[in-house]
Each structure stands twice: as C-alpha cells, then as structure tokens.
Amino acid sequence: MHKQLNRKPGRPKGTNTEQREQLLDITVEHCARHGIGATSLRAIANAGGVTPAMISYYFGSKDQLLDAVINERLIPAFDGLRQELLSAGDNTRTLVRTFVTAVHAMVRRHPWLPGLWIREVVNEDGALRQFLLSYVVKNLKLPSKLAQAFQNAREQGSVNPHVEPHLLPVSLIGLTMFPLATTSLWQQHFGPETLNISQERLQDHTIALLEHGLFPAADN
C-alpha cells in the first residue's frame, strides 16, 4: 500500500521543513476526525491556510500524501512501540505493564491515533487496514511475538492457565486502544463518576485488571 518516498528533483531541501511538518500534522488530524476517504487536498489546504497547489508541491497526489502519513507518522509510532516491548524482555508481567504504558504514551504523543485506528483499521473498508496487516502484523510480528511470550509463560505455570495466549494480543489492544478511542463517549455518558477520570487513572485501571486476571494471586 505504501512505499518509501523520494524527494522530487528541484524541491528545496530543508527550507520549508516546518511548514511541511505542520501540513502533515493537519492531514493526519483531519483523517482521524473525518476519515481518509473524506479528506481532500483542498480540505487540507483550507485547514492549513495554504493553496491546494502548495499541498501538491510538498506531497504530490493524495495517495502520495497518504504514503507520507504512513512513512512519517504511523511507522515511527509503531516502531517506537516495538522498541518499548523489546526492552521489556521475557517477563510477562513487565511485558503487560510495558504494553499498556507504551500505548498510552504513544497516544499522548499522537492524540489522533485512536480515532484513525477506529476509522481506518477497525472498519473493514478502512484505508489503513492493509498497512496494519502488512507492517505491524507481518513485518514487526507484534501479535505473534506477544502470543509466544504468553504461551511460554503459561507452559511455565506463571500465567493463568485459562487464558488463551493467542487471544491476549486482542485483549491487550481492546483494553488500551478502544477506551482511548471512545473517551468522550464514556466520560460524558456513563455517569458523573467517569467524567473526571484521567488517562493516567485509565492506564492504572487497565494494568490492574490485566495483572489480576493473568497472574496467580500470590504474585499480585
């Protein structure tokens, strides 16, 4: 779906980097709110206070703009998540904590990510579903590596034997990305008690829920 971008001949190097970065940020935020299909070069230009020709100057076509979003925003974000998980080692308790805190940190850095995930990955027709399958699943192998770590831990008796290791990546994603993507819904409509729950409290809640469900009571 995407390819590494090459700078067009004659394009000035470095002089307009800040404006290009700002337009890329505007693009990814617009896509998260309205969907990639509803995002046009003109809409990005209007939001950025520039002409559509300026968008074409920096990025070319809409497909090339989407390639830039993938290469310069999404890939670095998921590469960072992978590095955090690698640093956690083989201890599954540390791995769970690291996954939750790393996803929350990633969303704090990129607030547009949960909305984009709901619109363009969870949705069967989402424009980024193929990217997720090819890069995150097949290239980085994040789900399979997580599943294998929990499979090993279950065989060693350090994880709840009723837990299915190959569903744990699904549970981890569901308990992190989904609440973050629906924050405005549950904060505003699930009762006054949820109104002021911060992202930090949500993170701690998720870690506690996972730890007490996954690990023997004596270890909690």
Give per-residue pLDDT as tens, 37-70.
Answer: 999 999 999 999 999 999 999 999 999 999 999 9
The string of DSSP letters for 18-65 reads HHHHHHHHHHHHHHHHH-STT--HHHHHHHHTS-HHHHHHHH-SHHHH
Q: Is the pLDDT of residue 13 over 60?
A: no
CATH architecture, domain 73-219: Orthogonal Bundle (1.10)
Give per-residue pLDDT as tens, 92-140.
Answer: 999 999 999 999 999 999 999 999 999 999 999 999 999 999 999 999 9
Domain-wise residue ranges, the chain: 73-219
- CA-nearest of 214, 202, 148 to 175 is 202
Non-local (6+) Cβ contacts of 187 within 8 A are 194, 195, 197
pLDDT confidence of residue 16: 84
Instruction: Using the CB atoms, write b or e for 178-194: b if 16+ within 10 Å.
Output: ebbbeeeeeeeeeeeee
Give per-residue pLDDT as tens, 171-215.
Answer: 999 999 999 999 999 999 999 999 899 999 999 999 999 999 999
